[in-house]
């Protein structure tokens, strides 16, 4: 059979299967990400039927998927909003980083993977899944809740932190010398700061390049600019994903709104391909061996995320039920965790990091939306009322 024909058959069959899995996830009420990862595992190395002919297609598609994921995320914010959130919620961001990055780093060291893998695993356990959490908040009707701005502020800080973390990780995994690494990181961070400055000061000028009234030139123009900047960013050792994220931030007004609408179907397609490709690149046989460590790591870092949301909401003056809602809502990891793992494994750092990250994301993405519903459960509300009553009784007993 001709190679191109085989590629069409493999890609078509897998996309059709992904569609059915997507419908199943909607019916169950969870994110489709775990289903896409499992599909990739089933047809990757160590899976049931390895897909060899279409591997290049999925590799390129996954790169586009990461770029579009981050570009669409950037379109949801303006540069001024990012800076404002950073100023207002910097303490929450520090709590988040300490509570969730350090356990991942310590876990990698305990497994004997070394400091480079520790830096990567710290990022994997640090960053929550903005897409899964935003969808969960919408599904539960909590958009107008008092704790929601705190949740979103933490997510925004994590997204912005990735603009600096990913260049640092890129330099670390390459294994350059201390001086070369410092220069590479300095250049990368300088580029990020420069793009943020241009987005803040001249974002409206960049937006004028495009016409929001016509979808076709808008789609081609924004997609072209995003891929161009992403490629140039990668050339100077800034992650292509970060470059795409900053392009999204730079666009504003109707251009950003309409670009989001026309790019969303492309993002959905290639983001799904990205998750499938990560599964394809992971040996399913190794996943079983990393299942227990992934469960332990998930249990620890989901608990630290709950603590992060609870304490951050408490500092914002939100009541006890809202604190728990904020904490449980933040537990899912997803897009960035897979991006970080792919970057590290692609550079030859700790090959077992890929199956660990896959199992870890599967666990948190499945349990995250379920745990987010816990604060609304009758038994949980009853427990909070009993604890409040006990606290009142103790306070009254202590009063002379």
Q: Does 38 reside within a domain?
A: no
Q: Does 196 reside within a domain?
A: yes
Q: Does 260 reside within a domain?
A: yes
Query: Residue 136 pLDDT > 90, yes or no?
Result: no
Banded pLDDT at 143 (limits 50, 70, 90): confident
Higher per-residue pLDDT: 174 or 94: 94
Banded pLDDT at 185 (limits 50, 70, 90): low
Residue 253 is predicted with a pLDDT of: 77
Residues 6+ apart with CB under 8 A from 362: 34, 37, 38, 294
Q: Which candidate, 322, 334, 336, places its Cα nearest to that of 137?
A: 322
Residue 399 is predicted with a pLDDT of: 67
Q: Calculate mean pLDDT across residues 380-388.
A: 88
Query: Residue 176 pLDDT > 60, yes or no?
Result: no
Report how far residue 136's alpha carbon sits from residue 29's, in angstroms, rounded to the nearest whole number. 9
Q: Calculate mean pLDDT across residues 176-200.
A: 69
We report the CATH number of the domain holding residue 118 as 1.20.1530.20
Q: Does 184 reside within a domain?
A: yes
Banded pLDDT at 181 (limits 50, 70, 90): low
Report how far residue 211's alpha carbon sits from residue 50's, in angstroms, rounded to the nearest whole number. 44
Where in the sequence is the domain holding 360, given as residue range(s)?
75-270+283-377
Banded pLDDT at 15 (limits 50, 70, 90): confident
Residue 123 is predicted with a pLDDT of: 92
Residue 2 is predicted with a pLDDT of: 59
Contact of 74 with 246, CB cutoff 8 Å = yes
Number of structural domains (the chain) is: 1
Residue 86 is predicted with a pLDDT of: 64
Q: Quick: pLDDT tens for 95-123.
A: 899 999 999 999 999 999 988 889 999 99
Tokens (6 digits) for 17: 């299967």
Higher per-residue pLDDT: 252 or 27: 27
Q: Does 295 reside within a domain?
A: yes
| Of 44-53, 156-165, 268-277, the least confident | 44-53
Report how far residue 85's alpha carbon sits from residue 26's, in angstroms, rounded to the nearest whole number. 32
Tokens (6 digits) for 269: 């397609």
pTM attached to this predicted model: 0.74
Instruction: Give the chain's count of helices (H) and strands (E).
Output: 18, 0
Query: Residue 211 pLDDT > 90, yes or no?
Result: no
Q: Does 277 reside within a domain?
A: no
Q: Does 394 reside within a domain?
A: no
Q: Does 393 reside within a domain?
A: no
Report how far residue 282's alpha carbon sits from residue 275's, in angstroms, rounded to the nearest whole number. 11
């Amino acid at each position: 059979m001709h190679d191109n024909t085989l590629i069409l058959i493999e890609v078509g069959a897998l996309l059709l299967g992904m569609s059915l899995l997507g419908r199943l996830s909607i019916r169950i009420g969870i994110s489709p990400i775990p289903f896409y990862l499992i599909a990739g595992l089933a047809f990757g190395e160590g899976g049931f039927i390895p897909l060899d002919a279409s591997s290049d297609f999925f590799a390129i598609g996954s790169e586009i998927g990461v770029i579009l994921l981050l570009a669409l995320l950037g379109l949801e914010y303006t540069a001024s909003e990012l800076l404002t959130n950073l100023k207002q919620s910097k303490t929450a961001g520090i709590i988040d980083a300490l509570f969730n990055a350090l356990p991942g780093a310590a876990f990698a060291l305990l497994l004997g993977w070394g400091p480079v893998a520790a830096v990567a695993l710290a990022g994997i356990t640090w960053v929550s899944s903005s897409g899964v959490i935003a969808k969960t908040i919408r599904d539960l009707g909590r958009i107008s809740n008092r704790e929601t701005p705190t949740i979103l502020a933490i997510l925004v800080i994590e997204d912005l932190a990735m603009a600096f973390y990913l260049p640092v990780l890129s330099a670390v995994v390459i294994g350059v010398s201390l001086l070369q690494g410092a220069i590479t990181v300095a250049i990368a961070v300088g580029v990020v700061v420069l793009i943020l400055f241009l987005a803040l000061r001249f974002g409206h000028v960049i937006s004028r390049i495009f016409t929001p009234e016509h979808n076709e030139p808008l789609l081609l123009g924004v997609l072209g600019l995003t891929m161009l900047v992403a490629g140039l960013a990668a050339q100077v050792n800034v992650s292509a994903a970060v470059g795409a994220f900053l392009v999204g931030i730079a666009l504003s007004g109707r251009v950003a709104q309409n670009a989001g609408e026309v790019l969303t179907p492309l993002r959905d397609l290639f983001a799904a391909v990205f998750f499938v490709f990560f599964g394809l690149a992971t040996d399913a046989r190794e996943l079983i061996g990393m299942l227990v460590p992934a469960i332990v790591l998930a249990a620890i870092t989901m608990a630290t995320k709950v603590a992060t949301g609870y304490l951050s909401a408490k500092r914002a003056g939100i009541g006890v039920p809202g604190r728990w809602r904020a904490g449980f809502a933040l537990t899912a990891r997803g897009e960035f965790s897979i991006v970080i793992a792919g970057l590290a494994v692609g550079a030859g750092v700790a090959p077992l990091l890929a199956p660990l990250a896959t199992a870890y994301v599967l666990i948190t993405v499945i349990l995250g939306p379920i745990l987010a519903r816990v604060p609304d459960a009758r038994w949980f509300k009853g427990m909070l009322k009993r604890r409040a009553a006990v606290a009142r009784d103790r306070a009254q007993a202590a009063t002379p």
